[in-house]
Amino acid sequence: MKPKHDRLIIMDFDHTMFNTTTFVAALKKEFQEQFGIDEATFAKYRDHIKKCNKVIDIDRFVEHIPHTDKTGMHETIRDLLHRCADKWIFDDVREFMNRHQDRFDIAVVTNGDIELQSAKIHNSKLPGSFHTDISTDPKQEVVARLIAPYKKIYFIDDKPRTIEAVKKAHPTVLTYFMTRDEDHPYKDDCPSCRGADYAVAGLTFDIP
């Protein structure tokens, strides 16, 4: 990543920029309509979807679903993201990026399968120029390989454990704990995030 500015904003993708809960609900509906996968069966494999967002690729995910058309299910996931991913970016994301890109470098970082996460990010039609890092590495390790050229670093994520790990490894990084009302599956992990410098309910704030 070649720096253009001396400050870096590192942004998590799922649940911070992208409404992953809505994506999962839409995928459930597609699988019901196209493949007859009922709600109970889909719910049984929802944990696999969550893992898919982290470490399991699309092919391995569809192998768990009890239906013979694995290729069709694979293409349904990709087609759904192609049609809808840009609609699932939260309303404040593009404005936040536009407001900050002339003064900060921006990195979008996400844990997961490269094919799935690339499809999400590419089809989200995010504005401007930004760096993308997709891996299964802990976020504190991702931060470590990005921060060297920068005087100040800002980190935004919705997982308390991730915020705390980043803050412990990199005490000078300013951390923002994302607590969106409409998409915050980790809100009950802790009442407040001990590693956070700030708790924010969206991206309407400005970094001065």
pLDDT tens sequence across 106-141: 999 999 888 999 999 999 999 999 999 999 899 999
Give residue 43's pLDDT band: very low, low, confident or very high (50, 70, 90): confident
Q: What is the pLDDT of residue 52?
A: 56
Angle at 137 between CA 5 and CA 128, to 5 degrees: 35
Q: For position 32, what pLDDT does the model report?
A: 93
57 versus 44: the higher-pLDDT residue is: 44
pLDDT digits (tens, 9 = 90+) for 53-92: 555 567 777 887 889 998 999 999 999 999 999 999 999 9
Residue 195 has pLDDT above 90, yes or no: no
CA distances for 116 relative to 55, 77, 120, 167, 178, angstroms: 10, 9, 6, 28, 23
Q: Is 23 helix (H, G, I), strand (E, B) or coil?
A: helix
In angstroms, the CA 95 to CA 205 distance is 10
Per-residue pLDDT, 113: 84
Question: Average pLDDT in the 199-204 region?
Answer: 95
Tell me what pLDDT residue 122 has: 97
Q: Give the pLDDT score at 205.
A: 98
Strands, sheet with 105-111, edge to edge from the N-terminal-most edge strand: 131-135, 105-111, 7-12, 152-157, 174-178, 198-200
Backbone angles phi, psi at 41, to 5 degrees: -65, -45
The pLDDT of residue 1 is above 90: no
Range with lowest mean pLDDT among 47-51, 132-136, 182-186: 47-51
Q: Are the C-beta atoms of residues 46 and 24 closer than 8 Å to each other?
A: yes
- For position 187, what pLDDT does the model report? 64
Of residues 1 and 165, the one with the higher pLDDT is: 165
Q: How far is CA 45 from CA 69, 71, 140, 179, in A?
A: 16, 18, 29, 26
Q: Is the pLDDT of residue 175 over 70?
A: yes
The answer to whether 38 and 28 are in contact (CB under 8 A) is no
Average pLDDT over residues 16-43: 91
